[in-house]
């Protein structure tokens, strides 16, 4: 089964250059790439700067992605929060919010959800459970390493090897070493040279990333180079085409 996964720090739908609040720009960028699954960071709820919108529901409706969840992370001055969201064309199961904050640093978290997909042949009681982790890591290198190691040790080590896992998000991977130092030893893989996604108007750093583990193949991983994407947020989205392998997990 082939899926398109899009990871995107939408910056509260506020443009990185013009500082204009314009959700329709973000919607147009996402819709152009026709994802099946969306992993979004910096999604507002009830914040004055974003007109008190519950952005995950607004985006879900505009993109016709009926299944969604949102986890608050950081309180916003003047009321409301921003956090992580997962949206999908398929039912989401067993959602969870994982706190990876390293005090006294700013709050950080991972959103988790499962999706179940039927497998061929259809007359056999076999399903595939896809595990989705959407994260936004800290700004310091030590902080990121502590957060990732704790997360991987406590939330992915118990997942069965027959189940595919996707970990993606705004990793703030300023030095591009999280793959070799953290994800690789934990059994995750990605492309050899991730695409630069920040700043959106002239990308120089591959702050955003997507990693896979288990029976799932990364067919391609690219960034959006739409002209509109350079204005819609301060990050460019990552677009991953993946293919699920054969599953052996009984339902």
* Domains and their CATH numbers in the chain: 2-244 (3.60.10.10)
Q: Which of 89-98, 122-131, 140-149, 183-192 has the lowest mean pLDDT?
A: 122-131
Digit-coded pLDDT (tens) for 57-77: 999 999 999 999 998 899 998
Residue 125 reports pLDDT greater than 70: no
pLDDT band at residue 250, thresholds of 50, 70 and 90? Answer: very low
Whole-number pLDDT of residue 123: 54
What's the confidence (pLDDT) of residue 251?
Answer: 31
pLDDT band at 128 (very low <50, low <70, confident <90, very high): confident
Asked if the model's pLDDT at residue 82 lies above 60, the reply is yes
Percent of the chain with pLDDT over 90: 80
pLDDT confidence bin for 170, thresholds 50/70/90: very high
Residue pair 222/239 in contact by the 8 Å Cβ criterion = yes
pLDDT tens digits, 13-63: 999 999 999 999 999 999 999 999 999 999 999 999 999 999 999 999 999
Please determine, for residue 230, whether its predicted confidence score (pLDDT) is greater than 60. Answer: yes
């Amino acid at each position: 089964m082939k899926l398109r996964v899009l990871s995107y720090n939408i910056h509260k739908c506020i443009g990185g250059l013009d500082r204009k609040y314009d959700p329709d720009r973000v919607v147009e960028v996402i819709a152009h790439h026709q994802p099946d699954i969306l992993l979004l960071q910096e999604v507002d709820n009830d914040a004055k700067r974003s007109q008190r919108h519950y952005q995950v529901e607004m985006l879900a409706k505009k993109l016709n992605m009926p299944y969604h969840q949102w986890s608050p992370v950081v309180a916003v001055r003047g009321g409301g929060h921003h956090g992580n969201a997962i949206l999908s064309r398929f039912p989401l199961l067993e959602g969870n919010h994982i706190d990876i904050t390293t005090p006294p640093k700013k709050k950080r978290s991972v959103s988790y959800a499962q999706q179940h997909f039927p497998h061929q042949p259809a007359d056999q009681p076999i399903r595939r459970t896809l595990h989705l982790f959407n994260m936004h890591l800290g700004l310091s290198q030590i902080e990121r390493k502590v957060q990732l190691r704790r997360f991987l040790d406590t939330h992915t080590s118990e997942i069965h090897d027959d189940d595919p896992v996707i970990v993606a998000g705004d990793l703030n991977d300023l030095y591009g070493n999280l793959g070799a130092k953290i994800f690789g030893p934990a059994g995750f893989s990605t492309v050899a040279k991730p695409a630069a996604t920040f700043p959106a108007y002239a990308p120089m750093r591959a702050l955003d990333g997507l990693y896979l583990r288990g029976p799932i193949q990364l067919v391609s991983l690219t960034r959006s180079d739409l002209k509109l994407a350079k204005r819609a947020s301060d990050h460019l989205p990552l677009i991953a085409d993946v293919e699920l392998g054969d599953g052996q997990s009984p339902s």
